[in-house]
Amino acid sequence: MAKRDYYEVLGVDRSAGKDDIKRAYRKIAVANHPDRNPGDKAAEDRFKEATEAYEILADEKKRQTYDQFGFAGVEGMAGSGGGFGYSTAARDFEDIFGDLGGFGGIFEQFFGGGRRRSGGRESVQRGSDLRYDLRIAFKDAVFGTKSEISYPKEISCTRCDGNGAEPGTGVRTCPTCGGSGQVRRSSGFFSIASSCPTCSGEGTIVEKPCTKCGGSGRLKKNQKINVSIPAGVEDGRRIRIPDQGDAGPKGGPAGDLYVVVRIDGHEFFERDGYDVYCVVPITFTQAALGGDINVPTLEDRRVKVKIPAGTQNNKILRLRNEGIPQSGTSRRGDMYIRILVTIPQRLSGREKDLLKELASLEDDNSNPKPIPLADLR
């Protein structure tokens, strides 16, 4: 299949400036980015074609040669120097794709090792982070608590110190990749890097695997630790415990443990942020005449609350500083009490007589007028 003109590939005029060329390339490359089109060979081909065109047209000298001699003049120039090395396109790549994330991997795949450090693997691999869901009681969340948890994790092997080799033996440089952990193959003008199949990207091979861990360098263990839960913790809060995740491969640093707090409900109290709500019943005579009642708090104390005469059903009363402690401060939320006026279902003869006497004093209400809904809000 004949190659398309580089200007046609990017959809720009021959007089286009460098910024126009860069914008055109970015538009095509973003749309056909391999990370956004996994397994789409056509998109990958369009990405490669646009990158080849950009490699030539973004470089002033290569562009002049192409304009004068066409493909014959620039044959072998695209990606010259082993993959793209640090050519014009490679230097611009991070600027173009920096806001997409995942730059390093796609750079390595399509542009070779220009950004790699020399001499083997770039860094020691960190262990995986772990998650533990911890369910606690409502009041433990209010006042804080300490809880012992047990969870499975990987630790460095105590026999081989995490390197995977049987004590007395060692590791040797992988003969396939020469210790780099990568192998490369040419695909047109691209040099595509992939993890070495012999050493799985480690760069070294264990001569004799450790008899305790089988060469993995890690062992499974059931870990027990104490976790401090701060007062006022919210449901779903993540508490990070450094270095309590899985050990890293080949002696690498451990990951972190994230404890996710789940809070049980309470029989009487309901939480909203740092405030708590409860429902307290009173008799209809207390509602009409008013009086004092003793309301339980989160600390199981009893606080005297004044009920105003004529209190209506569902009226909300507020108790300041009787709510949830705010983490890291001396402040607390408030408690809100919703009044529930109870109507007796059984009356004694004396109670009926008194109510009838009261009813005779009231105005006739056999034809009540509806209350505007706005008055109830």
**Structural domain contains residue 21:** yes
Tell me the CA distances in angstroms from 268 to 60, 139, 278, 288, 296, one per residue in order. Answer: 76, 12, 6, 25, 10
Which residue range is the domain that position 291 belongs to? 270-364
* Euclidean distance between CA atoms 1 and 45, whole angstroms: 13
Nearest to 137 by CA among 273, 275, 235: 235
Please report the pLDDT score of residue 69 as a whole number: 80
Most trustworthy range by pLDDT among 123-127, 169-173, 179-183, 229-233: 229-233
Q: What is the pTM of this model?
A: 0.58
Q: How far is CA 312 from the centre of its chain?
A: 47
Task: Name which residue leads in pLDDT, 233 or 95.
Answer: 233
Statement: residue 138 has pLDDT above 70:
yes
Q: Which of 202, 207, 200, 217 is nearest to 120 (CA)?
A: 202
β partners of residue 171: 206
Which range scores top for mean pLDDT: 84-98, 105-119, 120-134?
Answer: 120-134
Confidence of residue 211 (pLDDT cuts 50, 70, 90): very high
pLDDT at 120 over 80: no
Residues 16 and 77 in one domain: yes
- One domain, residues 137 and 17: no
Q: Which amino acid is at 201?
A: G
Average pLDDT for 126-139: 95
What integer is the mean pLDDT of 343-355? 90
Same domain, 278 and 342: yes
Residues 333 and 292 in one domain: yes
The answer on pLDDT for 164 being more than 60 is yes
Instruction: Kindly tell me if the per-residue pLDDT of 332 is higher than 80.
Output: yes
Tokens of residue 224, six digits: 């027990």
Place of tokens 């860069």: 22
Same domain, 234 and 337: no
The pLDDT, as a whole number, for residue 252 is 86
- Do 144 and 233 belong to one domain? yes
Query: Looking at residues 143-147, what average pLDDT do you find?
Result: 95
Strand 275-283 to 335-342 pairing? parallel
- Token reading at 162: 């995490």
Q: What CATH number is given to the structural domain containing 251?
A: 2.60.260.20
Long-range contacts (CB closer than 8 Å, 24 or more residues apart) made by 5-9 = 6/52, 6/53, 6/56, 6/57, 6/66, 7/53, 7/57, 9/49, 9/50, 9/52, 9/53
- Range scoring the smallest mean pLDDT among 40-44, 278-282, 298-302, 365-369: 365-369
Looking at the fold, whether 252 and 353 belong to one and the same domain comes out as no
157 and 222 share a domain? yes
Task: Find the mean pLDDT for residues 85-97.
Answer: 52
The CATH number of the domain holding residue 13 is 1.10.287.110
Residue 192 pLDDT class (50, 70, 90 cuts): confident
Of residues 188 and 252, the one with the higher pLDDT is 252
Q: Write the pLDDT tens digit of every residue in 167-183.
A: 988 888 999 998 888 88
Number of domains in the chain: 3
- Chain CA centroid to CA 275, Å: 27
Higher pLDDT, 36 or 11: 11
211 lies in a domain? yes
Q: Give the three-class secondary structure for 320.
A: coil
pLDDT of residue 3: 80
Does residue 322 lie in a domain region?
A: yes
Q: State yes or no: pLDDT of 186 exceeds 80.
A: no
Is residue 367 very low, low, confident or very high in pLDDT (cuts 50, 70, 90)? confident
Same domain, 160 and 239: yes
pLDDT value at 44 more than 80: yes
Note the pLDDT of residue 206. Answer: 87
Report angle CA 250, 251, 252 to the nearest 5 degrees. Answer: 95
pLDDT of res. 314? 93
Q: What is the mean pLDDT of residues 105-116?
A: 44
Segment of 91-105, 113-127, 145-159, 324-338 carrying the highest mean pLDDT: 145-159
Return d(Cα 29, Cα 350) in angstroms, integer. 89
Domain boundary (263, 293, 311) is at 263
- 252 and 357 assigned to the same domain: no
Q: Which residues on neighbouring strands pair with residue 263, listed in sequence order?
A: 136
In the chain, what percentage of residues exceed pLDDT 90?
47
Q: Within the chain, how many helices (H) and strands (E) appear?
A: 10, 15
Mean pLDDT of 53-57: 90
Take residue 361 and report the two structure tokens written for it: 């004093």
The span from the CA of 336 to the CA of 242, in Å, is: 39
Q: What spatial distance separates the first Cα and last Cα of the chain, rounded to whole Å? A: 74
Together in a domain, 161 and 91: no
User: Residues 228, 157: one domain?
Assistant: yes
pLDDT band of residue 195 (cuts 50, 70, 90) is confident
